[in-house]
Amino acid sequence: MQKKGKIVVVSQHYPPDRSTTATILAIIAEHLAKETPVLVLSGTSGSASLGRANQPSVVEVKNWMPRKAALIKRAATEIFFTIRMFLALLMRLQREDVALTVTAPFMLPYAVVAAAKLKRAKSVLIMHDLFPDVLVVAGLLRPKSLVAKAIRGANFLMFRALNSIVVIGRDTQHLLLRYGQATRDKICFIPNWATLPLGARAVTAGNPYRRLCKARFIVGLSGNLGFTHDPRIVFDAARLLREDPTIHFLLSGWGIGFEQLKAMQSEAHLPNVTLVERVADEDLEHFLSAADVWVIPYRNNVAGVSIPSRFYNLLAIGRPVVLISEPGAEAAVTIKENDLGWVVPPGMPDELARALRVASLSKDPLMGDRAVATAGGFSLDRALMSYASLIQGLLRDRNQPGHIS
């Protein structure tokens, strides 16, 4: 009997890294390891395990990650990391294996697919961000630049070679279909899930984070504020609402966007804004419970390009959301379908301020319950079953190697 292959999970981020990508991939890898051997190639220091029974084996690939704002250094280190990961795959990947990776750093999927082709293994990509579109939205690339065209050309080959493309938002599919090689039969919709237990949390005056804000209605912002986010629109809305004593902004997070928020507040000293450094994982539930409503601020043209993973935890604790995005984005559709909050066009702080005023006066006591019920539809069990079904199907199908013909 021919030996069944293993699953090779390839990621720059893996626990003890605290990022959302690291957490998601660890959960997926540990679930898949219950049925099939899983090897994780990790770029995170300290992630190597002892290979316990029914647990993934972890091999660390040397990596150094500078601050996200150091763009040139970051690009150089990611190139070297991608090369090292490609060589590690050539050493460890075998014909019957399935390689699973994500779109961070953006060069990594090309290396994984190329290695899978050379070793006649299969490959699966979880599409968290779509390049070069995300770089164009961030203003780092021009849409018709030579670099953007080169990335699209590489995408054409990669999508042709991939056995499956997992999208976490329905709005991504139409962007992938433009390539032609990313056919509908390759695209699998598996949304992310809430990492916090489901249940509406009461707004209490004793919450330690809420006590930092002297107002009746608290507007929250949290998470990684990267190049696709627009923190300025939130700050400008706070500026417009500075004379309203009933509304206060509780802003936290990390990344270049949070550094921008700190710089703006250092200059403006808005009395209705409180900044909090990144909250520890064990305090996240208390922090998210402190606000009455949460804002997710995206730039223009982000629909289908980047999906807000934080969205599901906000729903899980029963909080409405004010999303700054196009109406066709995955989160926007979910909000509208289930009446979970408000959607505001990007780049319009006056509209955001107006929506926050409406939210502060909302008399809908069932919005929180609807949020929790909606989060229940994005369950961990359902997602893991979908990943297991997808990967096991590829492992069983020995007649479908990844290839570029």
Q: Is residue 29 classed as helix, strand or coil in its secondary structure?
A: helix
Query: What single string gives the DSSP state of each residue in 262-283?
Result: HHHHHHH--TTEEEEEPPPGGG
Mean per-residue pLDDT over the chain, rounded: 90
Q: Tell me, what's the pLDDT at 69? A: 52
Bigger pLDDT: 74 or 187? 187
Q: Tell me, what's the pLDDT at 397? A: 80
pLDDT tens profile 158-199: 999 999 999 998 889 989 999 888 888 999 999 999 888 999
pLDDT above 80: residue 242: yes
pLDDT above 60: residue 404: no
Retrieve residue 134's tokens: 């995300």
Backbone angles phi, psi at 354, to 5 degrees: -65, -45
Query: What single string gives the DSSP state of each residue in 290-301?
Result: H-SEEEEEB-TT
Q: Tell me, what's the pLDDT at 401? A: 40
The angle formed by the CA atoms of residues 379, 380 and 386, to the nearest 5 degrees, is 95
**Sign of the C-alpha dihedral computed for residues 77, 80, 84 and 90 taken in this order:** positive
Say how far apart CA 5 and CA 38 lie, in whole Å: 10
pLDDT tens profile 110-166: 999 999 999 999 999 999 889 999 889 888 899 999 999 999 999 999 999 999 999
Q: Tell me, what's the pLDDT at 1? A: 41
Please state the domain extents for the chain: 7-193+379-396, 210-376
For the domain bounded by 210-376, which CATH number is listed? 3.40.50.2000
Retrieve residue 158's tokens: 């990669």
Q: Tell me, what's the pLDDT at 49? A: 66
For β-strands 321-324 and 293-297, DSSP reports them as: parallel
Strand partners, 295: 322
Q: Tell me, what's the pLDDT at 402? A: 37
pLDDT tens profile 290-299: 999 999 999 9
Query: What single string gives the DSSP state of each residue in 108-119?
Result: HHHHHHHHHHHH
pLDDT tens profile 210-222: 999 989 999 999 9
Q: Tell me, what's the pLDDT at 398? A: 60
CATH of 7-193+379-396, one of 3.40.640.10, 3.40.50.620, 2.60.40.3120, 3.40.50.2000: 3.40.50.2000
pLDDT tens profile 305-322: 876 678 999 999 999 999
